[in-house]
Structure 1
Amino acid sequence: MYSRELSNILIKRKLISMFDGLTQGQIERLMFIDFCLVFKGEFARSELMERFGVAQAAATRDLARYRQLLAEQGKPEPVLDHSVKRYRRVSDFVPLCQHNPDYVITQFNRSVMSIDGEWGNQGGALAGYFQGVHSPFEQRSRALLNLSSDILPSITRAIHQQTLVDIRYLSLTRESLKRFAPHTIVSNGHRWHVRGAEIGSDGSAQFKDLVLTRMRSVTGVDQRAPESALMADDLSWQQRVTLRLVPHPVKFEHHHEVIELDYGMTNGCLELQTRLALLDYTLNLWDVDCSQNAVLSGFRYQLYLDNRAELAGFDAMQRTPGFTE
């Protein structure tokens, strides 16, 4: 229940006194305003009305109360952009509450798209906060996340506003500064990645994934991402491929019916659709033997990629289980 989750947050962060005298609904709406400014960088009064079904007068009072609470703590208030009737955070904005990134990503994780593109129906306390805009998350995951509190919001704001960020990034070989245009946060089942385009010194855009936890710092750049760096131009992201998974032909030659039942196969086959950019993530997550002659040992490989030849030309297949064997 949202009320229990919200109460735990407030108690943990010692915010009970700040919201003293307010109803549960008022507190939820104030936290929603704060959340939008942190993770989207902007907020409109109409969002309160649509999200919570309140009248314009009630939404106006909530916004006034939120600004009052910021002022009482000496924190800068958001500025109204009259041209679009949206409040935007200022450069030195400090949120009313500290939003734990692990909690936020867990809640989003309960409502984002599954591998076959269907929306989940297990929305938690924060599910729906990005309704009406592109959700920054793709695929459910139990991946671990250990971030400083400002990294995830900086990424989600850039995704929502389609702007650039400068990322100080630690790879296996060195630390470097990357100018990046993120468009989605995606999980490979074990860790979170940011999908987007790295902008070269010549302005070129190269789409790739960066590991979220390897980001030492993320700084917003007041500059729109070039058209060539937007999701629409990420061809590997836009293209979907079909995976035909069958019981492993060697290990389960005489017990294929068991695997068919385990995975809900039809006519001995399970077909999955995934984005080309997620091809290797999906096959690794499902422990699919992608070798030419089904040679991988170990009980974990219960599935075999039946249409291996059809997918062999994609570079991502080089990173799948057994493909090079």
Structure 2
Amino acid sequence: MSTRTTRTGNWGQDRRLEFIDFRLMWEGRLNRADITAFFRISVPQASLDLAKYQEIAPENAYYDRNQKSYIANASFKPVFATFESNHYLNELIGLETGILSPSESFIGWVPPVASLPLPTRKVQPETLLDLIMAIKNQRALVVDYRAMRDEPSIRTLFPTAFAHDGHRWHVRAYCFNSEMYKDFVLGRFFDIVESISPSSEVPVDTEWETFIDVVIGPNPDFSMNKKMIIESDYQMDNGEAKIRIRKSQYFYLKRRLNLNENGEPVNESQQIVLLRIEEPLISSGDIEHE
């Protein structure tokens, strides 16, 4: 799932300085026209922004009269932008999928890119709106929800949060019928019957409130060279990488990464394995999901 790149600057000069920093870092150059076209400001204002940037980072760029552009020096170090590949790549995917419009992205020259589309999961906007309002106003909902293993049923839920497992959206909710928290797939709500006040006090969702570190490592059966490749690919430190998640999301992470509870590789080509779950420990049973 792609995520939006968070900008640190506001809509004033700070944001324009971040834009200058971003273009110099990822594209190696920019000129006044880049700034005026993106922000719809005057040439004098763009000149002031460039002067301010050079005052802050005098060694980052120089003006090339032939190209009529500012060129990044070999010693360039970002001042405002985040020097993380994922920020650029997420923004690239955002442009390709339409999540971001060109006016929202700092990327100027866009390299060829393709993303693998997944089947669209149907979520009725009216249902989503009802769930949002229920969470905001702390209301319970009487719903017609169709779980895969159950007959159609009317149940009362107290929605508390949304969660994405990398494939589909769920709403986290306390189910008054089963008296426990569960995850409900958004596309399986057939009707929101009514919004009501909770009939009783709703307990704390300890599975949601608790964070755990899922520690992964390379397949122990791999050669030393393959282990080194996996460690580099997953940014491991001493053969380990930690993924911090809510305890309620562990079931989905385990399924997505194809991890065995016992730490053994699922098959000989399995690249990563589960090393351990760091405190607080999670029970071996899967979370309840609908």
Q: TM-score, normalised by structure 1?
A: 0.48
Partner SS, residue 235 of structure 2: coil
1:188 and 2:165 equivalent? Answer: yes
Q: Equivalent of 1:217, from 188, 191, 200?
A: 191
Answer whether contact 1:170 1:176 (CA < 8 A) is retained: yes
1:154 and 1:177 mapped to 2: Cα distance?
Answer: 16
1:274 and 1:314 mapped to 2: Cα distance?
Answer: 16
Q: Deviations over 1:148-178 (max 9, x none)?
A: 3311111111011110111111122311111
Where do 1:114-133 residues align within 5 Å?
Answer: none
CA positional deviation for 1:292 = 2.4
Answer whether contact 2:215 2:274 (CA < 8 A) is retained: yes
CA positional deviation for 1:318 = 11
* Aligned residue in 2 for 1:307: 276
Partner SS, residue 242 of structure 2: strand
* Aligned residue in 1 for 2:124: 148
Q: Deviations over 1:63-103 (max 9, x none)?
A: xxxxxxxxxxxxxxxxxxxxxxxxxxxxxxxxxxxxxxxxx
* Aligned residue in 1 for 2:218: 247
Any gaps of 5 or more consecutive residues in structure 2?
A: 1-89, 102-117
Partner SS, residue 151 of structure 1: helix
1:280 and 2:268 equivalent? Answer: no
Aligned CA distance change for structure 1 residues 276 and 306 (closer, same or farther; 3 Å): same
1:169 and 1:317 mapped to 2: Cα distance?
Answer: 19
Aligned CA distance change for structure 1 residues 225 and 238 (closer, same or farther; 3 Å): farther
2:201 and 2:160 mapped to 1: Cα distance?
Answer: 12
CA positional deviation for 1:283 = 2.0
Aligned CA distance change for structure 1 residues 124 and 295 (closer, same or farther; 3 Å): closer
Partner SS, residue 262 of structure 2: coil
CA positional deviation for 1:290 = 1.7
CA positional deviation for 1:124 = 5.7
Q: Deviations over 1:224-259 (max 9, x none)?
A: 474425xxx001111111111100112455520000
* Aligned residue in 1 for 2:267: 297
Partner SS, residue 194 of structure 1: strand
CA positional deviation for 1:316 = 2.3
Aligned CA distance change for structure 1 residues 170 and 290 (closer, same or farther; 3 Å): same
Answer whether contact 1:290 1:308 (CA < 8 A) is retained: no
How many residue pairs are counted as aligned between the two chains?
A: 177
CA RMSD of aligned residues (A): 3.2
* Aligned residue in 2 for 1:207: 181
Q: Deviations over 1:105-155 (max 9, x none)?
A: xxxxxxxxxxxxxxx998968xxxxxxxxxxxxxxxx78431233111111
Q: Deviations over 1:182-220 (max 9, x none)?
A: 0111111111111010113xxx84111111111111234
1:237 and 2:211 equivalent? Answer: no
CA positional deviation for 1:308 = 5.8
Which amino acid is the alignment partner of residue 191 of structure 1? Answer: R
Aligned CA distance change for structure 1 residues 281 and 234 (closer, same or farther; 3 Å): same
Which amino acid is the alignment partner of residue 258 of structure 1? Answer: I
Partner SS, residue 171 of structure 1: coil
Which amino acid is the alignment partner of residue 249 of structure 1? Answer: P
Answer whether contact 1:143 1:187 (CA < 8 A) is retained: no
Which amino acid is the alignment partner of residue 174 of structure 1? Answer: E
* Aligned residue in 2 for 1:262: 233
* Aligned residue in 1 for 2:242: 271
CA positional deviation for 1:295 = 4.2
* Aligned residue in 2 for 1:66: none
Greater relative CO, 1 or 2 (CA 8 Å, sep 6+): 2
Answer whether contact 1:292 1:308 (CA < 8 A) is retained: no
Aligned CA distance change for structure 1 residues 245 and 220 (closer, same or farther; 3 Å): same
Which amino acid is the alignment partner of residue 306 of structure 1? Answer: L
Aligned CA distance change for structure 1 residues 309 and 238 (closer, same or farther; 3 Å): closer
Larger Rg: 2
Q: Deviations over 1:20-42 (max 9, x none)?
A: xxxxxxxxxxxxxxxxxxxxxxx
